[in-house]
Chain A
């Protein structure tokens, strides 16, 4: 038996959670896409030039507000938020796993990785 068998068991559970997250996010993106296409499908696309987007599509609070108002594009962004959260959730769950294994070195390493990612989220949203 490999010494890392516990790792593997835990990572399998996490992997299945991730797959669930991807499925959920796909379903949300799909639903948002349908709403978006029904409302705007006959308009002309304007993606050739970069333009600043409304906060409705770029901040977490804005996205939730847009979803509440039933905007298709905001629903798509919600699905994308769920997608971005899946690897972050893996890192967070791994900390728990290393805690159970009493591997404090890797608890610290994993916590550091989580902090770097969260710093990016906060730094990105703040600046």
Chain B
């Protein structure tokens, strides 16, 4: 297989990953790493590096859409980015010293947990009054109710959410993923932020979190241009196609199928990690 053929295959695979990630809302990065390592035998460090770059691309590319909807809580995102960026640096340093088979096992486990988290019952109990700290940090906000009015909501348990966000950052830096599911979980279940706000604010934060570990990845040689090139172009193309052209193709069925695929890939990653093949 020549580099030309290899590039073509990775480009097509990444396009499909970006497309599915955008249609299901589960993100394209989660299948990039298993695709590269399991299917094409690429070293997991190169896979992590190119996935992280793809995560930045999709997050920055979709920022406008999320802000326009008016759901993102920009102050909340910025405050929590203190936690995620610090965590991301820690994670990137861990990635350098952790053996690759251990990273494969952690990756598989996190993949299964975050797929499950997407099916958790979301607590639809946003609170009107925020905690004292949330008031001091101006985290309480409003979101449009779709009829021209505004829903006011308060943010609770700021430090609990902050700790969870640090963990999300560590995993993002360690595994080259966006950690979107964990970020949403921290905001929903701990801080009691309304569902629509947590989802869009999380997407908003992913790029900044990833940028914090990207510098370390680049210097350590994790970002191999020959692989990152088809991955970035493919994932962005797929995500764009999914969000602009196939907006009506979103269906719960597709989401279930994608989740099953992700779980199979995760189990295979764990198996290969345990047997030392990765």
Residues of A within 8 A of B (CB): 2-4, 7-8, 11-12, 14-16, 18-19, 21-22, 25-26, 29-30, 32-33, 36-37, 40-45, 47-53, 57-59, 72-74, 76-77, 79-81, 83-84, 86-88, 90-91, 94, 103, 105-106, 109-110, 112-113, 116-117, 119-121, 123-125
What are the residues of chain B within 8 A of A7 when measuring CB–CB?
A: 74-75
Q: Which residues of the other chain, A, contact B150 by a CB distance below 8 angstroms?
A: 2
Known A-B contacts A19-B63, A120-B216; the reply to A83 vs B78 at CB < 8 A is no
Return the CB mask of B83-114 against A: 1 if under 8 Å, else 0: 00110110010000000000000000000000
A33 to B82, CA, bound (A): 35
Q: Indicate whether B202 reaches chain A with its CB closer than 8 angstroms.
A: no
Q: Which residues of B contact A106 (CB under 8 A)?
A: 75, 78, 138
What 0/1 readout, one digit per residue, does chain B (179-222) give for beta carbons within 8 Å of chain A? 00000000000000000000000000001101111111111110
Contact across chains for A116 and B85 when beta carbons are under 8 A apart: yes
Does B1 make an interface contact (CB < 8 A)? yes
Closest to B232 in A: A29
Q: Is the CB of A59 within 8 A of B219?
A: yes
CB-nearest residue of chain B to A3: B142
Say whether B43 faces chain A, with CB atoms less than 8 Å apart.
Answer: yes
- Tell whether, in the assembled complex, residue B207 and residue A87 are in contact, meaning their CB atoms are under 8 Å apart: yes
Closest B residue to A84 by beta carbon equals B214
Q: How far is the CB of B77 from chain A (nearest CB, A)?
A: 10
Q: A30-B233, A33-B233, A48-B43 are in contact. Are A57 and B221 (CB under 8 A)?
A: yes
Q: Does B276 contact A (CB under 8 A)?
A: no
In the bound complex, residues from chain A placing their C-beta under 8 Å from that of B59 are 87
Residues of B within 8 A of A19 (CB): 60-61, 63-64
Instruction: Provide a sorted-by-A list of 7 A–B residue pairs whose CB atoms are within 8 angstroms.
Output: A3-B141, A4-B142, A11-B67, A29-B232, A33-B7, A45-B6, A119-B89
B interface residue numbers (CB < 8 A to A): 1-4, 6-7, 40-43, 45-46, 53, 56-57, 59-61, 63-64, 66-68, 70, 72, 74-75, 78-79, 81-82, 85-86, 88-89, 92, 137-138, 141-142, 144, 150, 207-208, 210-221, 223-230, 232-233, 236
User: When the two chains form their complex, are residues A41 and B2 in contact, meaning their CB atoms are under 8 A apart?
Assistant: yes
Contact indicator B42/A47 (Cβ below 8 Å): yes
Known: A32-B229, A58-B218. Is A44-B2 also a contact (CB below 8 A)?
yes
Most chain A CB neighbours (cut-off 10 Å) among B45, B67, B221: B67
A86 to B1, CA, bound (A): 35
**Distance in Å: Cβ of B1 to nearest Cβ of chain A:** 7
B-side contacts of A91, CB under 8 Å:
78, 81, 208
A52 proximity list for chain B (CB < 8 A):
221
Taking the closest CB of chain B, its distance from the CB of A58, in whole angstroms, is 5
Closest to A38 in B: B4
Name the one of B63, B81, B226 contacting A47, with C-beta atoms under 8 angstroms. B226
Task: Give chain A residues whose Cβ lies under 8 Å from the Cβ of B214.
Answer: 84
**Cβ of A18: which chain B residues have Cβ within 8 Å of it?**
60-61, 63-64, 207
> What residues of B have a CB within 8 angstroms of the CB of A2 in the complex?
70, 141-142, 144, 150
